[in-house]
Structure 1
Amino acid sequence: MMKTLRIAALALLLGAGCQPAARAQAPALTTFPVGSTTVTASALASNLNTVWELVWGPDNFLWMTERGGRVSRVDPATGQVLPLLTIPDVTQTGESGLLGLAVMATPTAGTYWVFVVYNYTDQLILKEKLVRYTYANGALSSPTVLLGNISATTTHSGSRLLLLADGTLLMTTGDAQQQPQAQNTSSLNGKILRLNLDGTIPANNPIAGNPLYTFGHRNPQGLLQLADGRIYSSEHGPNNDDEINKIEAGRNYGWPNVEGLCNLPAEATFCAANNVREPLTTWTPTVAPAGLAYYDHPAIPGWRGSLLLGTLGGSRLMQLTLDASGLTIPTRTDFLSGFGRLRAICVSPQGKVYIGTSNRDGRGLPAATDDRILVLENRAYVATATVAAQKLAFELFPNPAQRQATVRLAAPTQVLTVRDLLGRTLLRVQPTGLTATLDLAGLRAGTYLVQADGPMGRNTQKLTIE
């Protein structure tokens, strides 16, 4: 009996040693049901100032921007905020300031590219620019302006950033209160722009030599891509017709000639003549839709296959279900009221949802501990050790390879991506089972990265082609 107890105690100690350091479980601020699941909301970090963006980084930390100019990493285990840099030329006035953020790993271990978009002042004129920093050894350095001199005002600046699976970057811009410019394909305002990671224009953009990806936008503030490539955006309407849009290259989204659906005679005429893509859903009265995420994790089954939307004026989290084609939103369900303006949202590989409040942005009623990062989680969910150990393991052979390689998966995986060492996507395969073949015939000899993405997270291995 004593021997059994000693073995059990040793197993517990060894198991504890394999776990990351964690804070004591935070007090529940509220709970609510999602189907048969109880979701608990707690505070990860407090006393922040207008959280604008949250992304899950390649280092398994949260990365955050605050509108005043600060970029930070946040430890999801302890809630510790680790400031990296307060960008000196950020201009915060009205809705302007430090806005969107994207983070990606580089081929150098522990080094990331960090993309930010913010407003700045140039000879007393407010403008907007996209800048890439390099992160290494706990610091941001080497700022490189990828796109600047974008017209701005104190409202309608956009601007979310999204790294696409093809190795390019999307950036949303608002109309900067210059409404006709949204329809002007030579203007950078009222657009979703697409750039290479060095700021050059992709050769296959809808208009040659133009960063335009889509146009006719008023003020898009949410942006995401699903594993199958579909892209969605949330957009602020005027006093009516907030929108969720499916983003398709080259399409016109109507503003300012169309508000919401093409359901008025003049709108219908304009839509027919200008290839306008109607929104999937609209809101009147408006809710001020902001951060947008996709949920596909077993921790909260009732949210799987849905968009999750933070709202500012609506002050609540919304679940937007998608049909199988991703072309309609059959239902909309509200959650998490009582925390004020909700702007930023991201989902971790563990199925937790992180939401940043925006109550100190001049339009909210901040509580004493605002602004906060909230965590929504199913505390009863425990991934088994077997699943955790196998979740994204895969074999890659032969390695080195020549014209073909085989991937043997330990668990179902949504997509396999082959990238070069600059992070550019060269090949994507959606496995139909536990094995997949990579056709390497079009790739030159060299070193590449093979990345597996699934509901439980991500794993990457090197592949050498001879």
Structure 2
Amino acid sequence: MQRRSQTAVLAAASLLLAAGCSSGGEKSENGGDASSAPPRSPGASAPASPSASPSPSVAAKGSVKVTATLTTGLESPWGVAPLPGGDLLVASRDTGKIVKVAADGGKKTELGSVPGVDPGGEGGLLGIAVSSTFGADHQVYAYFTTASDNRIARMIYDEKRPAGNQLGAPDTLFKGIPKGQIHNGGRIAFGPDKMLYAGTGETGDTGLAQDKDSPAGKILRMTPDGEPAHGNPQADSVVYDYGHRNVQGLAWDGDKRLWASEFGQDTWDELNLIEPGKNYGWPEVEGKGKGDAGSAFVDPVAQWKTADASPSGIAYAKGSIWMAGLRGERLWRIPLDGKKAAADPQAFLDGEYGRLRTVVAAGDGGLWLVTSNTDGRGDPRKGDDRILHLKVS
């Protein structure tokens, strides 16, 4: 990671271009004035600046084809959780509702609302996930903002009940995650180890990211019951790592390594390889340059300049991490070679669908991509918000 005073030097030598989420300490995930973004050529596939040599097993250049629009008319969609049969659960940040979208035909069915959701700023009903044993317990997990905090709860989904009333009463598993007008994090996912992971933000209070006693500005790892998971850096804590500004993307690669996307401030957005107990530097450092900043901080694997990304959800497919960009309004592909990038990041769908919030792996090897133009920061188009199916390579 790099000190802000070294931005000009390191930018010229940067291995990877990409985009930051905001300009100024209190700016939101929108990243400031979108009019400052460089001109885009819709549909272009834009590589970042020169980086690593391609791995022989991963193509340096990929491709993306939008094969279908699964559904339209979603309101402020945020979290998405695939069900075992392929259907998708979608959370609405502002309404607190969860709907099921059929993978075959895109029919929407409202399951119900999560009680206690208090939307405002970047808060509301954010990430959702289904348990690793969903076939047996039918548990749906939600990360959401209340009047006092961010918290994680689970509910039983009973599809035999009438539409709109298919979610049981929430059972709060973990509470007390600081809330703010900005930087609430919100992504949750079950890992290959069947533990629940959550990305949090520092709410604009930058010091919380380095405070190991605070769950803000961290990645948390807990059991499905909300207890500290065995193997965490501290046995009595759910904190898995620290030093984050605002984590909204979590994904595991084919070798079960955890990756996370992160909003930067003035200089760099990041894709990080996550390891337990490590310090990812915020607010002391931002972007690459660990050798200059001190060995205590972990470098990102890839970084993006402001206005090209503002990364939210990520997914792993076809040997690459795929990253949805909000302000950048594009989908980034980062081909992997083990723990590093195999080639330069490559951009797709540049400006074609507006802000992109969430991307998840589809059962057929492709991706589901969710737009985010009805969240108060985008420019809604007819049919927004929508879910697209992508064929990727």
Asked whether the equivalents of residues 31 and 38 of structure 1 are also in contact (C-alpha less than 8 Å), the reply is no
What secondary structure does 1:202 align onto?
coil
What secondary structure does 1:174 align onto?
coil
* Structure 2 match to 1:170: 197
Asked whether the equivalents of residues 53 and 345 of structure 1 are also in contact (C-alpha less than 8 Å), the reply is no
- Residue 279 (structure 1) aligned with residue 293 (structure 2): no
**Counterpart of 1:112 in structure 2: which amino acid?**
H
**Counterpart of 1:113 in structure 2: which amino acid?**
Q
Residue pairs, 1:283-322, within 5 angstroms: 283-286=304-307, 287-295=309-317, 304-322=318-336
Residue pairs, 1:350-369, within 5 angstroms: 350-369=364-383
Q: Supply the RMSD in Å over aligned alpha carbons.
A: 2.2
Asked whether the equivalents of residues 90 and 101 of structure 2 are also in contact (C-alpha less than 8 Å), the reply is yes
Shift of 1:257: 0.3
In the superposition, relative to structure 1, how do residues 112 and 280 fare at CA in structure 2: closer, same or farther (>3 Å)? same
Asked whether the equivalents of residues 134 and 141 of structure 1 are also in contact (C-alpha less than 8 Å), the reply is yes
Residue pairs, 1:118-133, within 5 angstroms: 118-122=144-148, 127-133=149-155
Asked whether the equivalents of residues 356 and 372 of structure 1 are also in contact (C-alpha less than 8 Å), the reply is yes
1: CA distance, partners of 2:277 / 2:132: 29
Question: Which of 117, 120, 137 is the equivalent residue of 2:159?
Answer: 137
Shift of 1:244: 0.2
In the superposition, relative to structure 1, how do residues 128 and 38 fare at CA in structure 2: closer, same or farther (>3 Å)? closer
Question: Which of 68, 71, 78 is the equivalent residue of 1:45?
Answer: 71
**1:238-280 CA distances to partner (integer Å, 9 max, x unpaired)?**
0211000000011000000011113684xx2xx32x3x21100
Question: Which of 90, 93, 97 is the equivalent residue of 1:67?
Answer: 93
Residue pairs, 1:185-334, within 5 angstroms: 185-262=212-289, 265=292, 268=293, 271-272=294-295, 274=296, 276-286=297-307, 287-295=309-317, 304-323=318-337, 325-334=338-347
**1:46-76 CA distances to partner (integer Å, 9 max, x unpaired)?**
1111211223211321111111211121101
Shift of 1:36: 9.0
- Identical residues among aligned pairs (%): 34
Number of equivalenced pairs: 330
**Counterpart of 2:312 in structure 1: which amino acid?**
A
**Counterpart of 1:195 in structure 2: which amino acid?**
M
2: CA distance, partners of 1:375 / 1:74: 13
Question: Which of 173, 186, 209 is the equivalent residue of 1:146?
Answer: 173
**Counterpart of 1:98 in structure 2: which amino acid?**
L
In the superposition, relative to structure 1, how do residues 37 and 343 fare at CA in structure 2: closer, same or farther (>3 Å)? closer
What secondary structure does 2:118 align onto?
coil
In the superposition, relative to structure 1, how do residues 196 and 216 fare at CA in structure 2: closer, same or farther (>3 Å)? same
In the superposition, relative to structure 1, how do residues 50 and 329 fare at CA in structure 2: closer, same or farther (>3 Å)? farther
2: CA distance, partners of 1:72 / 1:38: 27
**Counterpart of 2:82 in structure 1: which amino acid?**
W
* Structure 2 match to 1:87: 114
In the superposition, relative to structure 1, how do residues 351 and 186 fare at CA in structure 2: closer, same or farther (>3 Å)? same
2: CA distance, partners of 1:45 / 1:314: 23
Residue pairs, 1:372-387, within 5 angstroms: 372-377=386-391
Asked whether the equivalents of residues 234 and 245 of structure 1 are also in contact (C-alpha less than 8 Å), the reply is yes
2: CA distance, partners of 1:352 / 1:235: 23
Q: What TM-score do the two structures reach when normalised by structure 2?
A: 0.79
**Counterpart of 1:349 in structure 2: which amino acid?**
G
**Counterpart of 2:388 in structure 1: which amino acid?**
L
Q: Which 10-residue stretch deviates more, 197-206 or 306-315?
A: 197-206
* Structure 1 match to 2:139: 113
- Runs ≥4 residues deviating over 3 A: 30-38, 105-109
Q: Which 10-residue stretch deviates more, 256-265 or 180-189?
A: 256-265
Asked whether the equivalents of residues 293 and 346 of structure 1 are also in contact (C-alpha less than 8 Å), the reply is yes
**Counterpart of 2:76 in structure 1: which amino acid?**
T
Higher relative contact order (CA 8 A, sep 6+): 2
In the superposition, relative to structure 1, how do residues 285 and 133 fare at CA in structure 2: closer, same or farther (>3 Å)? same
Asked whether the equivalents of residues 31 and 41 of structure 1 are also in contact (C-alpha less than 8 Å), the reply is no
Asked whether the equivalents of residues 281 and 329 of structure 1 are also in contact (C-alpha less than 8 Å), the reply is no
**1:415-448 CA distances to partner (integer Å, 9 max, x unpaired)?**
xxxxxxxxxxxxxxxxxxxxxxxxxxxxxxxxxx
Q: What TM-score do the two structures reach when normalised by structure 1?
A: 0.67
Shift of 1:31: 8.4
Residue pairs, 1:388-403, within 5 angstroms: none
2: CA distance, partners of 1:99 / 1:107: 20
2: CA distance, partners of 1:129 / 1:352: 31
**Counterpart of 2:118 in structure 1: which amino acid?**
T
2: CA distance, partners of 1:308 / 1:112: 28
In the superposition, relative to structure 1, how do residues 316 and 155 fare at CA in structure 2: closer, same or farther (>3 Å)? same
2: CA distance, partners of 1:290 / 1:203: 28
2: CA distance, partners of 1:308 / 1:203: 29
